[in-house]
């Protein structure tokens, strides 16, 4: 039974889902990094929010981990690169808390415009400070959105309802979407020059870090109200402090800080500064949503291989997962075959899809083929890590698809381009193809030669010149070595030409056998393959 560690405060809804789906959970909130590392290998899944930080060390220690689920949106607390390299899927819940966070941003905008927290404090202290708090009307003012995705768009809708004008800086916002939302797409400098209020809604990435730098903030209108409910690292906090002190900024309201939990911060105590402790997603509704969603997604993945909202793996719906399973198995086996016979590596990979499989969601199938392909040389690789490992290695990958499949209902062909080496004049493309028949993977072509057979867990692959008596000699040699033959598949180009034998055998043969085979005059190549 898979086991999940819930390492941050999640609604009970998550535990209920895991339990109903037959997954064990441990709830351990507030663990130190060392405490987490000490127990990490016990779990197949790790469910977090923003406080727990699964970095490369935690992921390395979590030797059984298959999935990290983020009950929320931002994943900057998770080392996705390390997770990908270890084959761990990282998934989030991209919509569950978007409305709640947009509402918090709007609340912060009003709180800052009318200095509500300070007015509240003064009033409750018995000062009746009516003259101290003259605010700013927001109607017809310009709101500048930095980032106009899920949350930004919801803030825009609300701001339009408040009769504000909305301009947005988001390089990925299309003109069509901007028109649909009724926002004006502008560049960052224009936004800085025109906005009366700026609110941030981008993820924290290398591109967005410090997007509101000192220089950028200096370009903003005097009297700007700044709201940050996205991530602390987006803004230069020291510059904001100075600008609140010198009046360049009228007010700032931050839910997020460069260092969290923010027990101390340069902004604390600044004039017209409002802080909340990362409460953007903290409503009952949002927490139910994200807990339910993350638990369902993680359970789906652990139990059926369905992938939703993953940041490092293509999606596979619960309906697709069983349909794709045999193709994933076939692709992985073909890849494994190609990888095991590419003794000197490969420079390029082409995957061809024909027939029924061409119409399916091919991304996970390709990922499986690459996982098989890289396994021989890289060992610890899976569908999550294989595509990025291949991309980093510089090997070119391309894919073709055709609905036509002349012989089989479906066919996957993997071609690898092998380099010329000192010992081998065999350069150019090697190709292997297989089909799924009655739900089982079958190999149907090796090096362009047709042959038909099932995969066995151990197979002897022999590439030889077609000569009378060769097959008999091969069988005798295996018999002498005490190797039982389970299946025997033959293919050849033409009489007396290049031929192949693919022999399913019970158990691993001794190394000397392949050496003996290799030494035979008609043998060009012999190898034991594992599937
Ligand atoms: N305070 C809180 O509790 C919460 C904070 N968040 C934060 O809000 C962020 C945004 O969430 P969503 O809107 O759901 O994400 P999203 O992915 O839907 O939208 C982000 C937008 O930022 C844009 N963007 C990316 N790079 C940019 C750049 N260099 N300059 C300008 N725009 C850029 C993207 O094109 C996208 O449209 C999350 O990544 C998370 O960090 C999310 C939920 C709760
Ligand atoms: O979803 C997000 O990105 C958030 O920042 C919410 O964070 P939290 O789950 O409240 O720690």
Q: 274 φ, ψ to 5°?
A: -120, 135
Give nearest CA residue, ligand 2 atom 10.
Answer: 281
Q: How far apart are the first and last CA of the chain?
A: 25
Q: Distance of alpha carbon 517 from its chain centroid, rounded?
A: 44
72: nearest Cα among 100, 45, 92: 92
What's the 156 CA to ligand 2 centre distance in angstroms?
20
Along the 531 residues of the chain, how does pLDDT read in single tens digits?
A: 999 999 999 999 999 999 999 999 999 999 999 999 999 999 999 999 999 999 999 999 999 999 999 999 999 999 999 999 999 999 999 999 999 999 999 999 999 999 999 999 999 999 999 999 999 999 999 999 999 999 999 999 999 999 999 999 999 999 999 999 999 999 999 999 999 999 999 999 999 999 999 999 999 999 999 999 999 999 999 999 999 999 999 999 999 999 999 999 999 999 999 999 999 999 999 999 999 999 999 999 999 999 999 999 999 998 999 999 999 999 999 999 999 999 888 999 999 999 999 999 999 999 999 999 999 888 889 999 999 999 999 999 999 999 988 899 999 999 999 887 655 555 588 899 999 999 999 999 999 899 999 999 999 999 988 888 888 888 888 888 888 899 999 998 877 788 999 999 998 888 888 888 888 878 888 999 999
Give nearest CA residue, ligand 1 atom 3.
Answer: 280
| Per-residue pLDDT at 60 | 97
| Per-residue pLDDT at 354 | 97
Query: CA–CA separation, 194 vs 215, rounded Å?
Result: 16
Ligand nearest to the CA of 282: 2
Domains of the chain and CATH, by start: 3-94+285-304 (3.40.50.720), 98-275 (3.40.50.720), 314-453 (3.30.1330.90), 456-531 (3.30.70.260)
For the Cβ of 103 lying below 6 angstroms from any atom of ligand 1, the answer is no
Report residue 146 as tokens: 């930095």
241 annotated active-site: no
Of 148, 151, 227, 258, the one to substitute when testing ligand 1's pocket (max ligand atoms within 8 A of C-beta) is: 151
Give nearest CA residue, ligand 2 atom 3.
Answer: 74
Give nearest CA residue, ligand 2 atom 9.
Answer: 49
Q: Which residues line ligand 2 (CB under 6 A)?
A: 49-50, 72-74, 97, 278, 280-282
Give nearest CA residue, ligand 2 atom 11.
Answer: 50
Judge contact between 439 and 384, C-beta under 8 A: no
- The DSSP secondary-structure symbol of 510 reads P
231 annotated active-site: yes
What's the 149 CA to ligand 2 centre distance in angstroms?
16
278 annotated active-site: yes
231 CA closest ligand 2 atom index: 5
Ligand nearest to the CA of 76: 1
| Per-residue pLDDT at 475 | 86
Report residue 366 as tokens: 């390709």
97 CA closest ligand 2 atom index: 1
């Amino acid at each position: 039974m898979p086991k999940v560690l819930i390492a941050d405060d999640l609604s009970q809804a998550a535990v209920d889902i895991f339990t109903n789906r037959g997954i064990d959970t441990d709830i351990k909130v507030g663990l130190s990094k060392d405490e987490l590392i000490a127990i990490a290998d016990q779990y197949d899944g790790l469910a977090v929010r923003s406080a727990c930080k699964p970095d490369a060390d935690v992921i390395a220690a979590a030797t059984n981990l298959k999935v990290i689920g983020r009950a929320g949106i931002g994943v900057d607390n998770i080392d996705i690169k390390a997770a990908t390299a270890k084959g761990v899927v990282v998934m989030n819940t991209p919509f569950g808390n978007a409305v709640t966070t947009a509402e918090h941003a709007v609340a912060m905008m009003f709180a800052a415009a009318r200095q509500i927290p300070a007015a509240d404090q003064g009033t409750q202290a018995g000062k009746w400070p009516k003259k101290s708090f003259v605010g700013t009307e927001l109607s017809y003012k310009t709101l500048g959105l930095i980032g106009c995705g899920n949350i930004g768009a919801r803030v825009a809708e609300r701001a339009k309802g408040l009769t504000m004008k909305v301009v947005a800086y988001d390089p990925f916002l299309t003109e069509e979407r901007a028109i649909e939302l009724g926002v004006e797409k502008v560049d960052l400098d224009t936004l800085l020059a025109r906005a009366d209020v700026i609110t941030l809604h981008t993820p924290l990435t290398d591109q967005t870090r410090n997007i509101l730098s000192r220089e950028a903030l200096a370009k903003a209108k005097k009297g700007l109200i700044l709201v940050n409910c996205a991530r602390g690292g987006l803004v230069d906090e020291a510059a904001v402090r100075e600008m609140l002190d010198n009046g360049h900024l009228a007010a700032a309201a931050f839910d997020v800080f460069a260092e969290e939990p923010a027990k101390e911060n340069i902004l604390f105590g600044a004039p017209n500064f409002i802080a909340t402790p990362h409460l953007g997603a903290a409503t009952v509704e949002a927490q139910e949503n994200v807990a339910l969603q993350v638990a369902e997604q993680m359970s789906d993945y652990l139990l059926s291989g369905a992938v939703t909202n993953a940041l490092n793996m293509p999606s596979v719906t619960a309906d697709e997962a069983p349909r794709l399973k045999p193709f994933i198995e076939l692709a992985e086996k073909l890849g494994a075959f190609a990888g095991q016979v590419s003794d000197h590596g490969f420079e390029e990979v082409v995957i061809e899809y024909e027939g029924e499989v061409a119409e399916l969601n091919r991304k996970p199938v390709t990922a499986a083929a690459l996982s098989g392909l890289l396994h021989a040389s890289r060992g610890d690789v899976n569908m999550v890590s294989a595509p990025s490992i291949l991309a980093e290695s510089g090997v070119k990958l391309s894919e073709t698809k055709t609905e036509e499949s002349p012989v089989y209902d479906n066919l996957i062909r993997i071609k690898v381009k092998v380099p010329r080496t000192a010992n081998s004049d065999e350069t150019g493309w090697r190709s292997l193809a297989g089909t799924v028949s009655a739900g089982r993977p079958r190999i149907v072509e090796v090096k362009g030669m047709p042959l038909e057979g099932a995969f066995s867990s151990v197979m002897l692959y022999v590439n030889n010149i077609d000569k009378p008596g060769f097959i008999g000699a091969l069988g005798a040699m295996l018999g002498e070595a005490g190797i039982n033959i389970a299946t025997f598949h033959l293919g050849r180009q033409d009489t007396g030409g290049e031929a192949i034998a693919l022999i399913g055998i019970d158990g691993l043969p001794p190394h000397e056998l392949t050496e003996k085979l290799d030494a035979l005059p008609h043998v060009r190549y012999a190898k034991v393959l594992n599937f």
